[in-house]
Structure 1
Amino acid sequence: MKLYYLPIVLSLFITHHSSAQELSTISGRKFLYDAYFINPAGDTLTKEVMEWYFQEEKSKLPQQKNLHFTYYTDTVGIKKFIHPQEKVRKRIARNMLKAEKKKAWANWTWLQKEINTGYTETDTSFWIHPPRGNQYIYCELSGMPGIEYNELKVGGNWSKTLLILGGYGDGNGKLISDYEVKKEVKYSKGGPDVDHCWLIEVTHTHSKLGQTSSQIVFDSKKYGFLEIVNNYYDGSKIVFQLREML
């Protein structure tokens, strides 16, 4: 399996020491998500499927296990995506010239088909490194989707600080994410129906690029992340919605 470069991220986070984990273990399970990328004009550029595989093997990252993402790319919509990094835009332009001479989609060599990150699952918390390949490079600026179990109550809150040291260009800097549990909700959007889950709102403040926000719907019993909606500083938007657990 081909390995891809991951940006260097240092994480400093607030921990809590009470309460037991509610979520049934997800190690060894695969989840299919519908994934949408929406541009600042409100146009849905890509609608595709992504597989999240929470592997049991330990990651090279400290105290984490492998989280393997497989992208089933929207090969039509992705052509309209404008990458936020200038050096990558130039590489895409070069590859596009090559692709014009050939018919195979594989000639779009700038696209990643899969990537490994990591996740942590303990008695007190659950969090992941999100996908950051292709159009999901924006996820670098929406922090780490994560839960502190003893704060799963209305008004519960926690914070995480990330130092982004490489991989995003202008996005390098300090990112502070403040999480707050807003309310208990029902969830039904074409995937699993869950009667009791949690709506969590997150404000991400970047030292250079300003604010990004997230809304997370989390099931503490079985599925974990049911939905993640990220609204970025430049008006772009990414949505993940769970389709099924395999």
Structure 2
Amino acid sequence: MPHILITDDDPHLRRLVRTYAELEGYDCTEAGDGAAAVTALKQVPFDLVLLDVMMPGPDGFETLEAIRRFSQVPIIMLTARNEEYDKLNGFQLGVDDYVAKPFSPKELMARIGAVLRRTQSRTPAAVTNELAFGGLSIFPDSRIVTLDGKKVTLPPKEFDLLYKLAQNEHIVLSRDKLLETVWGYQYCGDARTVDTHIKSLREHIGPYRKLIQTVWGVGYKFEEPDEN
């Protein structure tokens, strides 16, 4: 039974989420602030964390940063803000998904299920072949990316996105297809989620950002740009 940590300073929201999550068969623990969430994660293994952005004391971003110092547990952030900067900040720190308040509890459960399916079925050791594109190398077994021999640690979702694009070199992948194959759901995803992750991923791979090409009105493809 997956164990979920629900972190929010609003007890009514925690109870609402817990009610729906337990109906889905999840075991739930509540934390009223970021410090309590960090303490709980250091004491008990969790399969996923729901983390509110706006909390007294350490906010969601500070809590996320603290968690990522010792754990790669999947994290979905709950936010009343929908600004691109906030999302980019979260993705760079390693968040797996965002859900904007007010949200549909059923959609939240769908997103939780998608993240859990993806992370629990991940078997990186089964794929060991390096993918190399000039100075950019992707190592699926260790989930490592190197740029000109220097290791770059990508947030989990950005690695999955880069690997999916690289596996399909020269093939245009629509935003919906990327949502389905990388995020693990088909209908409750927002195409802007893909765009935001692509923007952050391009920043992380720096000089090789042009390998990820935008196909306007469709999606993205991975190939060397035509300089002519």
**What TM bracket, shorter-length normalisation?**
under 0.3
Higher RCO (CA 8 Å, separation ≥ 6 residues): 1
Name whichever structure is richer in helix by fraction.
2
TM, length-normalised to structure 2:
0.25
TM-score by length of structure 1 reads: 0.24
